[in-house]
Amino acid sequence: MSESSRALLLFGVMIVAGILTYVYFFHPFMAEQPQVEHVLSENSTWSVTMQDYLTRGPLSAETFRISNDNGKTTMFYSATNRAGTVTKEFTSPIVGPSGTFLFEDLRANGLWELDDRAVRPNPVDEYVIEVEQTLGDEGGTHAFSFSDPAFWATTHAKEFNVHLPANGPITGNNGAVVGVAGGRSLQELRYRKIVNEIREFGPPSITTAQVKIRSELAETLKHPIQPQ
């Protein structure tokens, strides 16, 4: 094969390769690029708020809120002393992807699935958790409340089905059945997992600021603020 023939063959191979590259790679990319840019430019926000109501100790309430606005994450914290006379709070930016990791962990632990649980008698602490998320024109919210997550994580209590007779007194001979199939366990670890993840979230600077606020509010009880 002459030098000119080899050059023509190489040129033809390059043309065919270019056509195949355009057909199978570049053209599909160009067709999908507007959709990709649309997704990347869509408004994307989420927030998780946990309100904690305490029945004992120097604090009466705390609020934790982690928010993400198009990639920018912030942490809000507030606490109120037992007397309800002083509230302290702060908002701090969160650098890095830790906020996104937290949101994904909370979702895996049932953030969108868990429901209300009845407040137990003489509760130690009560919680209300709310999640909000938007992506473009779509979004949703979910909220649930419960008390004493440590109890639900360790309880051996069970729920039993009770079938009562349609008419007549409840006796062992007229169809009343109690304790069908051994009952359903009421133990649920996810409430405590979510509470702990939100409470422990943030770099040392944030957790240190929370400790400082709790300490300052405890001092207000030793030296009560007098009304004006």
Model confidence over 13-54: pLDDT tens digits?
677 677 767 666 666 656 655 554 444 457 899 999 999 999
User: Does residue 31 fall inside a structural domain?
Assistant: no
What is the C-alpha to C-alpha distance for residues 105 and 127, in angstroms, rounded to an integer?
19
> In which domain, by residue range, is 74 found?
44-160+183-222
Predicted confidence at residue 14, as pLDDT, reads 75
Mean residue pLDDT across the chain: 83
Tally of domains within the chain: 1
Sign of CA dihedral 24, 25, 27, 32: positive
Of the CA atoms within 13 Å of residue 55, those in its CB half-sphere come to 11
User: Model confidence over 63-94: pLDDT tens digits?
Assistant: 999 999 999 999 999 999 999 999 999 999 99
- Residue 131 clears pLDDT 80, i.e. is over it: yes
Q: Is this prediction's pTM over 0.75?
A: no
Measuring CA to CA, how many Å separate 176 from each of 98, 184, 185?
54, 19, 22
Q: Assign residue 80 the CATH number of its domain.
A: 3.30.1560
Q: Which amino acid belongs to residue 23?
A: V
154 within some domain: yes
